[in-house]
Amino acid sequence: SQKIEQNSEALNIQEGKTATLTCNYTNYSPAYLQWYRQDPGRGPVFLLLIRENEKEKRKERLKVTFDTTLKQSLFHITASQPADSATYLCALVSAGYSTLTFGKGTMLLVSP
Amino acid sequence: NAGVTQTPKFQVLKTGQSMTLQCAQDMNHNSMYWYRQDPGMGLRLIYYSASEGTTDKGEVPNGYNVSRLNKREFSLRLESAAPSQTSVYFCASSTRRRGGGQETQYFGPGTRLLVL
């Protein structure tokens, strides 16, 4: 069956370090993958999109990699700040489909 | 622009009662979606509307109905609420980018529903 796995345990890091979150998938052929941020009590907010033929995408302090051989995406936040504390969701769109399938998310806690 | 708005913000229902969750977007998006989010389950798609006049089932449609009233509005109805429908409901909208595909979704603030 199709699965999207994100680490269910919260990731705790110190301010200034690089946070790395993982999204693994099985039995998918994603056309592209998206990352969203969700703060408590609010709806998810889009951060980055990466296509299947792209290896890496950057936006300011954010970097996403996409390895279709490993079936994995990594999401990096460099020089992390307490304001980066949130839950981060990955979402896939399979080729030929128009809807997103979300992972369960990983909570990131950045301490000062 | 308000983006995606949802009403109500909170609702408490008794088992068997009905209600309609309202969603509107002012971004001229073609597609709209309803999700539910439960602890440990993540976001799951209930129904979506790829364009005005069409609706399709998502992953968990049982117990729900939808209406795409016009391009702006997409409502979700619970005909006979059950405790299993206690959840946070999010509406989202998106538009197809040039070249096709690659839709990113814009979410509303959510409706918190408790069914007793």
pLDDT in tens, B54-66: 999 999 999 999 9
CA-CA distance, A93 to B15, in Å (whole number)?
Answer: 35
Torsion of CA A97, A99, A105, A111, to 10 degrees: 110
Of residues A101 and B101, more confidence is placed in: A101
| Weakly modelled stretches of chain A, pLDDT under 50 | none
Of residues A23 and B52, more confidence is placed in: A23
Nearest CA in chain B to A48: B104
Tokens of residue A48, six digits:
């980055």
- DSSP secondary-structure letter at A31? E
Give per-residue pLDDT as tens, B29-51.
Answer: 999 999 999 988 889 999 999 88
What pLDDT score was predicted for residue A6?
95
- Amino acid present at A3: K
Torsion of CA B65, B68, B72, B73, to 10 degrees: -30
Q: Which residues 70-109 of A have a C-beta within 8 angstroms of B?
A: 89, 93, 98-105
CA-CA distance, B49 to A67, in Å (whole number)?
Answer: 31
**3-state DSSP call for residue B22?**
strand
What pLDDT score was predicted for residue A29?
82
- DSSP secondary-structure letter at A20? E
Q: Is the pLDDT of residue B74 over 80?
A: yes
What pLDDT score was predicted for residue B98?
54
Q: For residue A44, is the peptide bond before it cis, meaning its omega torsion is within 30 degrees of 0?
A: no
Q: How far is B19 from chain A (nearest CA, A)?
A: 21
Compute the count of residue pairs across chains A and B with CB atoms less than 8 Å apart.
Answer: 52
Q: How far is A56 from chain B (nearest CA, A)?
A: 16
Percent of chain B past pLDDT 90, that is, above it, reads 81
Give per-residue pLDDT as tens, A93-106.
Answer: 876 677 889 999 99
What pLDDT score was predicted for residue A49?
92
CA-CA distance, A68 to A71, in Å (whole number)?
Answer: 5
